[in-house]
Amino acid sequence: MKFRTAVLMLACLIAAGCATTPRPSQPGTAIPADLKDLAQWQARGRLGVSGPANGGSGSFEWRQSGDRADVEIRGPIGIGGVHLQMQGEGANPDLTLQTSDGQTLQSDAAWNELQTRLGASVPAGNLRFWMLGLAAPGEHQWHEANDQGVVALEQGGWRIEYQKYSDEFGARVPMRMTATSGDARVRIVVDRWQLGQ
| Cα separation, 184 vs 181, whole angstroms | 5
Structure confidence at residue 78 (pLDDT)? 59
Q: In this structure, is residue 13 part of a structural domain?
A: no
174: nearest Cα among 195, 154, 157, 158: 195
119 Cβ contact list (under 8 Å, min separation 6) = 51, 52, 53, 54, 182, 183, 184
Structure confidence at residue 111 (pLDDT)? 83
Q: Which residues pair with 41 in a beta bridge?
A: 64, 195
Q: In this structure, is residue 119 part of a structural domain?
A: yes
**How many domains are there within the chain?**
1
Q: In this structure, is residue 22 part of a structural domain?
A: no
Least confident of 18-22, 34-38, 53-57, 170-174: 18-22
CATH code: domain of residue 166: 2.50.20.10
pLDDT of residue 24 exceeding 60, the answer is no
Query: For 74-121, how does the pLDDT look when each residue is reduced to its tens digit (9 = 90+)?
Result: 876 656 688 989 998 777 788 898 988 888 999 888 888 877 766 677
Could you tell me if 59 and 45 are in contact, meaning their C-beta atoms sit under 8 angstroms apart? Answer: yes
Q: In this structure, is residue 30 part of a structural domain?
A: no
Structure confidence at residue 82 (pLDDT)? 85
Least confident of 8-12, 41-45, 135-139: 8-12
Q: In this structure, is residue 83 part of a structural domain?
A: yes
pLDDT of residue 155 exceeding 90, the answer is yes
**Reduced to 3 states, what is the DSSP secondary structure of residue 193?**
strand
pLDDT of residue 154 exceeding 90, the answer is yes
Does this model's pTM top 0.95? My answer is no
- The enclosing H or E element of 11 equals helix 2-20
Range of the domain at 53: 38-195
Least confident of 38-52, 86-100, 121-135: 86-100
Structure confidence at residue 77 (pLDDT)? 63
Report percent pLDDT > 90 for the chain. Answer: 43
More confident residue, 107 or 152: 152
pLDDT of residue 1 exceeding 50, the answer is no
Q: In this structure, is residue 128 part of a structural domain?
A: yes
| Cα separation, 16 vs 33, whole angstroms | 33
Give DSSP secondary structure letters for 26-88. Answer: PTT-SPPSSGGG--EEEEEEEEEEE-SS-EEEEEEEEEEETTEEEEEEESS-TT-SEEEEEES
Q: In this structure, is residue 28 part of a structural domain?
A: no
